[in-house]
Chains A and B, each alone.
Chain A
Amino acid sequence: MPEREQKHRSTSTKRETEEETDEHSASTASGEKLKAELDDILDEIDEVLEENAEEFVRSYVQKGGQ
């Protein structure tokens, strides 16, 4: 693995440095936003998830597939 990493890094160091700088600052700044988004998604899922999950899961049967 170290050998691979060294070779790999050497081929892409420049691009990585540029992109990671942007991504890191962006992800730090938006960490709270992401969590809020996930909360929103969970709210939505509570709304759209099949009401009787157990029955839905039980009745979903698919035979005759490849």
Chain B
Amino acid sequence: MAIVKVCGIETEYGIHSNNSHDNPVSLSSLLVNSYVTDLERAGWDFENESPANDARGFSATNGQPPQIETHLVNAVLTNGARYYVDHAHPELSTPECANPLELVLYDKAGEEILRRSVASANKYLPAESPVTVIKNNSDGKGNSYGCHENYLMDREVPFSRIAKQIITHFITRIIMVGAGKVGTELAGNSRAIPFQLSQRGEFFEEEIGLETTLKRPIVNTRDEPHADPARFRRLHVIVGDANMSEVSTFLKVGTTALVLAMIEDNWLDNADIMLANPVHAIHQVSQDVGLSTVLELVNGTTATALQLQWQIFELASDYVEQNGLSVLGDEEVGKIMMERWESTLESLESDPMSLSDQLDWVAKYRLLQAYMDRHNASWTDPRLRAIDIQYHDINPEKSLYNRVGMERLVTDNEINKAVVTPPRDTRAFFRGMCLAKFSNEIASANWDSLVFDLKDGPLKRVPMMDPLKGTADHVDTLIQGSKNATELLHGLEVQ
């Protein structure tokens, strides 16, 4: 029987300033550092801070790039997330979530954390060259950065089966969850490609592999479970786009989690949906704005991405009828997800533009078309590329996503709460609550352990090898009742 699909998203954000002296590594460090510094100093209150100087040597007065720590920063937050500098980008990994709607919330909370970081960082930067953060996956010049999904899987399921059976969904889900992009970045593309459904799709060159930066594979083989390796696997998914749309994120995570559960339960063993040439197919689907391109299947027939999505949906419906939706962590959320999946496919079939308030690529495409009509512009006009990038700006004053009336699945109040409090139904609860209450006694925090320093005696490590243990049900009473980490650890031992 499939296990609950605990899930999370890691997002590498694009970072930019118009000051050519600012390098992205320093800017990224400044973002994370200034956010964490404001937290420490202000005790969660961001509103009343106006520091001119900082003990770390930040300075807002000389108009030069700030002097900041250049080591790569790595912070674990009280909502259970990890916030750090990866390569030349700020990156935020959400806490582990027990259902797809909760992950939408924590993905948006991640955006809010970056937004607050920008406000903090800009206090140290000259007013004329503030830092800008973009939640997309490509700079339009062939450089891509990732938005990776993670799903908890049963170690007993052979990886080869997962890889073989998930690939069609990874490729065809693009018609629902692509973030949209103007043009192409592949030098070899001689044909004019005005618009693609996916930011990332054209960067994939292999079916299966370990790489994430070169020769990117559609199925990534990284095997680093951050949990008991004898019981669990973490499927690391690098093929998706970063979504601004809450509906797109919900469908991306919800459908994928369910299809992975189906694979665990041998539900796709006889499904006749294998693509003959996955790498070619992902490029085809990404370019298929008309949703009509036929893809070759292993069985010698052809089907469009939409037809294949319908087939996967029908298989999922049958699966759910027999097995329920508990694998999605919450039956009600699962039902909403199935309804949304179906209605989205129906709309893609009848009138894709009717989804312009729900799906990123449709919203962006409609906006670009309207802009071209008004300004008599062509697809190669740089203003269209600017719109493409600025759609993903997380600054609400700049963001075009914010202006096109997209449907919401979570509220701003929920997001603000999720910035500082962890999900209740995974081990992220234990991590986040301990960091909030006992941070002075925590030596280090990681995905699968917390290390306490009780000042007398050796460090004490609390392993968290099961992502579904350490939930509010398990430890809330104990944490609330513990005055310090010594009492907490004593209580854990007694338990």
Partner of A56, one of B14, B213, B386, B400: B386
Contact of A53 with B143 in the complex, beta carbons under 8 Å: no
Q: Which A residues lie within 8 Å of B386 (CB)?
A: 49-50, 53, 56-57
Question: For the complex, is B89 an interface residue (Cβ under 8 Å from A)?
Answer: yes
Q: A65 contacts B88, CB within 8 Å?
A: yes
CB < 8 Å A-B pair total: 106
Q: Is the CB of B387 within 8 A of A49?
A: yes
Q: Which of B218-235 contact A (CB under 8 A)?
A: none
Specify the chain B residue showing the minimal Cβ separation from A49: B386
A45, CB-defined interface residue at 8 Å? yes
The reply to whether the CB of A14 lies closer than 8 angstroms to some CB of chain B is no
B20 closest partner in A (C-beta) = A59
Q: Which of B58-66, B367-375, B424-432 contacts A (4 or more CB under 8 A)?
A: B367-375
Do B397 and A65 touch across chains, with their CB atoms under 8 A apart? Answer: no
Docked pose: A12 CA to B345 CA in angstroms: 13
Query: Considering the chains assembled together, what is the distance between the CA atoms of A48 and B246 in angstroms?
Result: 23
On chain B, the residues within 8 Å of A36 by CB distance are none
Q: Is the CB of A64 within 8 A of B88?
A: yes
Given contacts A57-B382, A59-B16, A65-B88, contact A48 B398 (CB under 8 A): yes
Q: Is A41 in contact with B143, judged by CB distance below 8 angstroms?
A: no
Residues of B within 8 A of A44 (CB): 403
Residues of A within 8 A of B (CB-CB), count: 32
Give every chain A residue within 8 A of B143 (Cβ-Cβ). Answer: 61-63, 65
> What B residues does A62 contact at CB under 8 A?
14-16, 24, 88-89, 138-139, 143, 145
A16, B311: Cα distance in complex, Å? 19
B254 interface contact, C-beta 8 A: no
Complex Cα distance A8/B141, Å? Answer: 42
Q: Which residue of chain B has the shortest Cβ distance to A43 in the bound complex?
A: B374
For residues 276 through 335 of chain B, which have their beta carbon under 8 Å from a beta carbon of chain A?
307, 310-311, 313-314, 317
| Residues in B neighbouring A56, C-beta threshold 8 A | 386, 389
Q: Which A-chain residue is minimally distant from B16 (CB atoms)?
A: A60
How far does the alpha carbon of A44 sit from the alpha carbon of B374 in the complex, in Å?
13
Chain A residues with CB under 8 Å of B141's CB are 61
With A53-B385, A61-B141, A62-B14 in contact, do A1 and B307 touch (Cβ < 8 Å)?
yes
Q: How far is the CB of B88 from chain A (nearest CB, A)?
A: 4
Contacting residues, chain B, for A38 (C-beta < 8 A): 366, 370
Min CB distance A61 to B, Å, is 5
What 0/1 pattern do residues 208 to 250 of B give for CB contact below 8 A with A? 0000110000000000000000000000001000000000000
Contact with B along A9-31 (1 / 0, CB 8 A): 00110011001000000010000
Interchain residue pairs with CB less than 8 A apart (14): A1-B310, A16-B346, A41-B367, A45-B367, A48-B398, A53-B383, A56-B386, A62-B16, A62-B139, A64-B24, A65-B88, A66-B87, A66-B146, A66-B212
Interface of A with B (CB < 8 Å)?
1, 4, 7-8, 11-12, 15-16, 19, 27, 37-38, 41-42, 44-45, 48-50, 53-54, 56-66
Contacts A8-B314, A48-B390 known; 11 new A-B pairs at CB < 8 A: A4-B311, A8-B313, A27-B354, A38-B366, A56-B389, A60-B134, A61-B141, A62-B145, A64-B24, A65-B145, A66-B146
Chain B interface (Cβ < 8 Å from any Cβ of A): 12, 14-16, 18, 20, 24, 86-89, 134, 138-141, 143-146, 148, 212-213, 238, 307, 310-311, 313-314, 317, 339, 342-343, 346, 354, 366-367, 370-371, 374, 382-383, 385-387, 389-390, 397-398, 400, 403-405
Question: Sorted from nearest, which 5 A-B pairs have the closest CB atoms?
Answer: A65-B145, A64-B88, A64-B87, A53-B386, A62-B139
